[in-house]
Structure 1
Amino acid sequence: MEAYSDREQIEKILTSFRAKQLLVGFVPTMGALHQGHLALVEKALAHNDKVVVSVFVNPTQFDNPEDLKKYPRTLNEDLALLKDLSVDIIVYAPTVEDMYKGNTISEKFDFDGLEFEMEGRFRNGHFDGVGTIVKRLFEIIKPDSAYFGEKDFQQLQIIKKLVEKHDLPVTIVGCPIYRETSGLAMSSRNTRLKPAYKKAVPFIYKTLKTAKIKFGTKSANKVTEWVESQFAKQPLLKLEYFIIADEATLKTVKRKLNKKTYRAFIAVYADDIRLIDNIALN
């Protein structure tokens, strides 16, 4: 396994891979790797000759400076995990200067309205930051395929839209949510949970599973009201939003229609730690 922080170095080795007609998979991360990340890397390894994993905490996708400051940075541990996985992994861990050249601001994107739903309502400029860094990484790595987890389902849909609108030659592969034994969706932020909150947060996925059952017989509004009432009884968890949306448009459902695919999305605060999750409903 090799690791690079310099753009010219990694572009040189990737050019040599393409000259040999090797398939290159790509897994972008912000580090603090866990089994969910490793599952993405393993899937990429199964379908490509080489896999690039980027480790970069992108400042332009944080609307909360304190969250950016507290985000875990564990590069040495990340490298050790990846080294144990395969010799066919190349790590790209650039600096902010390397990615932004002294101009740390986002490009502006139009994702056909996907960016204004759910997370976009609560995290100002977040998806401009995501689009900026992913587009730049795609231009540097030039992967054949890129792998994203469905925990960030809205982000996954937006990346697909980015590729479509900018005609980028990369296949986007969505991968199932990787969960802890408690059901909690794996996240780098989970390591910051205090013991009492760690015990409380499995309630999030438990509620999503029940909401899925209720959606079979009740309206989206009734299910939403039920979820809100359940979280009102949880002293350690603060519900930011629960939304049932059309998977394709991410628009909130007003009335269920046949042949539409729906998904429930949730964001919850456990102390100062923001957790998101989602579940397919049909």
Structure 2
Amino acid sequence: MKIAYTVEDVKSQVRQWKKEGLTVGLVPTMGYLHEGHESLIKRAVAENDRVVVSVFLNPTQFAPNEDLASYPRDFEADTKLCEGAGAALVFHPEPSEMYAEDACTFVDMTAVTKELCGKSRPIHFRGVCTVVNKLMNISMADRAYFGQKDAQQLAVIRRMVRDLNMNVEVVGCPIIREADGLAKSSRNTYLSEEERKAGLVLSQAVKLGQKLVAEGEKSAAAVTGAMSELISAEPLAKIDYVSMVSWDSIEPVETIEAPVLVAMAVYIGKTRLIDNFIYEG
């Protein structure tokens, strides 16, 4: 496995692979990798000849009051996980390598970013879309892999690829959970032991929502209301949102008539956790 720190090093290697007729998979990450990331890399390895994993803590998707400075980092552990999962190349650039000093170009989407996380993190998806677009261009990937835990991100990137006619297939992969149900997240390391237990209320709310929908409940308000009530009973939990939206447009829905995304963001102490489920019908 190779480690590249510059855009040109990645492009040079990928051009060689393309000359050989090999397919390339991309797994974009912000580092501090866990089993969720590992599952994406293994899926990419199974479906492509070579896999590029980017380990880049992207500053443009963090607001000044967010956790860029404190976000966990362990590049040595990340490289071991990537190598063990079968990646061919890890791209680990500095921000100055990704963004020129006078850079003024962004990918700014509207319709699918204004709900859910976009409400409380208004600059987030502009940063995500811009860096993912750049990583897709740099890696010349045939396929790019994203986890369903960040379901709005997955929907946003699929729409970006469609709208811009990009030559890459976006592959969504299932949420990977701890044995007790908590969705795997690099931010779980922020949680104290008491907060870690309290965080289980998110996956419990997911199960409740799935049960109600499976039993025939069609009202978005009834489903999200029951989930919110369950979460609110946890003293350490503070709800950012619990919402049901169209899985295609990320627009709020009142009743289930087509595939929907039921998503939540909840503060456990100071840590913001997300979880969701998709009902395809």
TM-score by length of 1: 0.94
Cα contact 1:149–1:174 (8 A) shared by 2: yes
Residue 8 of structure 1 deviates from its aligned partner by: 1.1
Letter in 2 for 1:94: P
What's the secondary structure of 2:69's corresponding residue? Answer: helix
**Percent of residue pairs bearing the same amino acid type:** 37
Instruction: Determine the C-alpha separation between the residues in 1 that align with 2:232 and 2:153.
Output: 28
Instruction: Determine the C-alpha separation between the residues in 2 that align with 1:266 and 1:73.
Output: 26
Cα contact 2:218–2:255 (8 A) shared by 1: no
Deviations 1:133-172 (A, max 9, x none): 0111111111010000011111111111111111110011
Residue 262 of structure 1 deviates from its aligned partner by: 1.5
Instruction: Determine the C-alpha separation between the residues in 1 that align with 2:59 and 2:103.
Output: 8
Instruction: Determine the C-alpha separation between the residues in 2 that align with 1:10 and 1:234.
Output: 47
Stretches of 4+ aligned residues off by more than 6 angstroms = none
Residues 105/205 of structure 1: CA separation in 2 closer, same or farther (3 Å cut): farther
Matches within 5 A, 1:14-93: 14-86=14-86, 88-93=87-92
1:206 aligned partner? 204
Residues 192/110 of structure 1: CA separation in 2 closer, same or farther (3 Å cut): closer
Letter in 2 for 1:214: L
Cα contact 1:60–1:104 (8 A) shared by 2: no
Cα contact 1:35–1:178 (8 A) shared by 2: yes
Residues 101/78 of structure 1: CA separation in 2 closer, same or farther (3 Å cut): same
Letter in 2 for 1:32: Y
1:171 aligned partner? 169
Among 157, 160, 166, the residue aligned to 2:158: 160
1:149 aligned partner? 147
* Structure 1: stretches of 5+ with no match in the other structure: none
* Structure 2: stretches of 5+ with no match in the other structure: none
Instruction: Determine the C-alpha separation between the residues in 2 that align with 1:104 and 1:275.
Output: 32
Letter in 2 for 1:241: Y
2:4 aligned partner? 4
Residue 224 of structure 1 deviates from its aligned partner by: 2.0
Residue 38 of structure 1 deviates from its aligned partner by: 0.3
Instruction: Determine the C-alpha separation between the residues in 2 that align with 1:105 and 1:223.
Output: 43
1:242 aligned partner? 242
Instruction: Determine the C-alpha separation between the residues in 1 that align with 2:251 and 2:164.
Output: 23
What's the secondary structure of 1:264's corresponding residue? Answer: strand
Structure 1 residues 38-47 or 2-11, which shifts more? 2-11
Deviations 1:173-209 (A, max 9, x none): 0001111111111111011211001111112111111
Letter in 2 for 1:28: P
1:94 aligned partner? 93
Letter in 1 for 2:90: V
Residues 30/106 of structure 1: CA separation in 2 closer, same or farther (3 Å cut): farther
Residue 263 of structure 1 deviates from its aligned partner by: 2.1
Among 180, 190, 193, the residue aligned to 2:191: 193
Residue 103 of structure 1 deviates from its aligned partner by: 4.2
Residue 105 of structure 1 deviates from its aligned partner by: 6.5
Cα contact 1:60–1:105 (8 A) shared by 2: no
Instruction: Determine the C-alpha separation between the residues in 1 that align with 2:103 and 2:63.
Output: 13
Cα contact 2:217–2:223 (8 A) shared by 1: no
Letter in 1 for 2:75: L
Residue 231 of structure 1 deviates from its aligned partner by: 2.2
TM-score by length of 2: 0.95
What's the secondary structure of 2:253's corresponding residue? Answer: coil
Residue 54 of structure 1 deviates from its aligned partner by: 0.1
